[in-house]
Structure 1
Amino acid sequence: MAAKLRADVTLTETEAGGVLLDERAGRYFQLNRTGVLILRTLIDGRSVEQAAGVLAERYPVTADQARTDVESLHRSLTAAGLITE
């Protein structure tokens, strides 16, 4: 199942990456460029495995490290209530 931004969460991309605004809680979350790439890949309907593949293609990381990084960000965004499945 694809990840989705919660209805009251907005993503604004910046030169350095992006900012997520949780309007419900009034909190901001900052993402670097890699974080935005991962988030965009996930909300575009790709799986964690596919997002890890995209990350490994664009950056000099191993497939295992890319998967670990994607899983970690996915868990963090889910725990913060910013994305849903």
Structure 2
Amino acid sequence: DGQHYTTQGGKVIKGYFAKEPSNASGYMSPFGKQGATYVKDMHNGYKATFKETDTATGEMWVTVTDKYGDVVDQFNLKSGDTHY
């Protein structure tokens, strides 16, 4: 899911050039930054916590907990994967 981007400095004003920033290339993710976490509340006592582990691919580490907060499942989820 991560989309690679590259920007370039270019002529901005006659006689001046834009300096290429240190983040002129990298990956964009619709999920946020690597290490970011998101929680989906299933409203039946179960919650899934998603932690982005790879911005380039959108890969997530998922931890599912029950209404007591006990971990019932953990798995890696890649773009396009499903898990039941």
Give the TM-score of the pair, scaled to structure 2: 0.30
Higher relative contact order, chain-length normalized (CA < 8 Å, sep 6+): 1
Higher helix share: 1
Point out the structure with max Rg over C-alpha. Answer: 2
Give the TM-score of the pair, scaled to structure 1: 0.30
